[in-house]
Every structure is written in structure tokens, then in C-alpha cells.
């Protein structure tokens, strides 16, 4: 009796083993989707204002770490990194231009003129974004080039290399020529470009967007008629005379 039971168990095991390959063969193979069936590949190519590419060339190696061209459609970071060291290097250079335009109406004498803007752009971030967008559109119409490339070239030409500082020796104060760091070069260039836009549009029928566009075009060509280029040449001339 035990032999018969053992023989039945052995036959059942052999039958189960023979059925396994048949079941595996019966399963349909999973069809691998072709690249065409998976759909088109989406490319994340963010453009400024949905129009202009950030693929530009930076020629000045010292400013390369401070000209931040992070692809973003509308630069607005709300200055989240303001408490960090050298956080300005992490901010988009377009947003830094926006912040330079949002200066208060101090009424100070700038370039031989008393500018009393009464704070019309102070805190108006969306208004300055619109001004820059209109200026870039005007640059693209006039030159046919990428306005971001024009802006970067204007920064490179209008950033001074030498400057002067006051040094006291006892009771004598004298000016000494010093080298300018890359961070300060960017600050001076952005400040002068923003001031040129405000001075050009003050007391005239031209808009700030038009004056900003003309200033960027002149500065990108290293034209002496540009206000920022004039200021750069004046700063470097004073540094040369102090050496």
C-alpha cells in the first residue's frame, strides 16, 4: 500500500513539473514600447519673457561667477537668500537690474541734474519687469540680436577695473589706486546703467524703457556717448592719476 501511494505522489510531481514550461510558454511576452510610441521628448528650455534664450556667451572671466543667467521666465526671487554671504551671485542678473531701477526719489544731484523721481519706481517690481521687457523688445527690433547678450556685453564694458580709495596718513588724506573686485564691478555697472535710464527719461518725452534700451545698445558697443561708459572711463582715469 505504501509503495502505491509513493508511486502516485511521484507521478503527480512529474506531471506538475511538465506543466510549468507549458504555462510559461503560454504567457504572452510583454511588448516593449518603441520611442515613437512613448511620445515626444520634452525639452526644458525656459526663455526670458517666453521670447529670449539664455544661451549667451560671457567673455569676461572675472564676471563669469557673478553674471547669473539661471533660466527663468520672470525673474523674481523675493530675495529669499538675502541673509547668506555672497547671495547676490546666486541672484539672476536680470532681477538685479530690476532692483537697481527701483530706487527712491532722493532728489540727489546726479550727472549735473537733480533727479526728483518721488519714488515712482520704489517697490514697483512688476512695473520694472515690464520696463525691462519693453526695453529688450526695443533692443531686439533695433539690432536683431539677443537682448540678453547685449545686456551681458554692456555689463562687461561698463564695469571698471581700477578705482580709488581714501587713505589717511596722520593728518593727511590721499587717494590711492586699488583694484576692484568682481562683485563691486557688477554693482557699479548695474547702478550706472540704471541711473542712465532714469536720467535719460527725466524731463523728456522718452520712456524709461526707451532710454534703457539705448543705454544698453551704446554700452554694448563701448560707445563714449553711453553714460555708464563715461563713468567707467572717469573712474579709471582718476585711478591712473592716483598711481
Give, rounded to a whole angstrom, the gap between the first and last alpha carbons of the chain.
117
Which pTM was predicted? 0.74
- Strand 172-179 relative to strand 162-169, pairing: antiparallel
Collapsed DSSP state (helix, strand, coil) of residue 241: helix
Q: In Å, how far from its chain's centre is CA 174?
A: 38
Residue 91 to residue 79: CA distance in whole angstroms: 8
Q: How high is the pLDDT of residue 156?
A: 93
The yes/no answer on whether domain 87-241 falls in CATH 1.10.455.10 is yes
Nearest by Cα to 98 from 66, 63, 134, 62:
134
DSSP 52: B
Residue 124 to residue 79: CA distance in whole angstroms: 15
Kindly report the length of the chain: 243
> Residues 96-153: pLDDT tens digits?
999 888 875 555 556 566 665 566 777 888 889 999 999 999 999 999 899 999 999 9
- Model confidence at 209, in pLDDT bands (50, 70, 90)? very high
Cβ–Cβ under 8 Å, residues 239 and 162: yes
Amino acid at each position: 500500500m505504501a509503495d502505491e501511494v509513493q508511486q502516485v505522489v511521484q507521478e503527480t510531481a512529474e506531471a506538475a513539473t511538465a506543466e510549468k514550461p507549458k504555462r510559461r510558454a503560454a504567457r504572452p511576452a510583454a511588448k516593449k514600447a518603441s520611442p515613437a510610441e512613448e511620445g515626444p521628448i520634452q525639452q526644458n528650455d525656459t526663455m526670458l519673457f517666453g521670447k529670449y534664450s539664455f544661451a549667451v556667451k560671457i567673455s569676461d572671466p572675472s564676471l563669469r561667477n557673478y553674471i547669473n543667467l539661471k533660466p527663468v521666465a520672470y525673474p523674481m526671487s523675493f530675495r529669499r537668500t538675502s541673509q547668506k554671504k555672497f547671495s547676490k551671485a546666486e541672484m539672476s542678473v536680470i532681477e538685479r537690474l530690476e532692483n537697481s531701477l527701483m530706487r527712491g526719489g532722493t532728489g540727489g544731484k546726479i550727472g549735473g541734474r537733480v533727479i526728483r523721481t518721488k519714488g515712482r519706481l520704489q517697490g514697483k517690481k512688476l512695473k520694472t519687469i515690464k520696463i525691462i521687457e519693453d526695453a529688450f523688445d526695443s533692443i531686439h527690433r533695433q539690432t536683431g540680436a539677443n537682448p540678453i547678450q547685449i545686456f551681458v556685453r554692456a555689463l562687461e564694458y561698463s564695469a571698471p577695473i581700477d578705482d580709488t580709495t581714501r587713505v589717511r596718513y596722520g593728518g593727511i588724506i590721499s587717494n590711492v589706486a586699488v583694484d576692484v573686485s568682481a562683485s563691486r564691478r557688477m554693482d557699479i555697472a548695474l547702478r550706472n546703467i540704471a541711473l542712465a535710464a532714469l536720467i535719460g527719461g527725466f524731463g523728456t518725452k522718452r520712456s524709461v524703457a526707451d532710454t534703457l534700451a539705448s543705454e544698453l545698445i551704446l554700452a554694448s558697443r563701448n560707445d563714449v556717448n553711453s553714460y555708464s561708459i563715461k563713468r567707467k572711463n572717469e573712474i579709471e582715469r582718476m585711478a591712473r592719476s592716483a598711481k
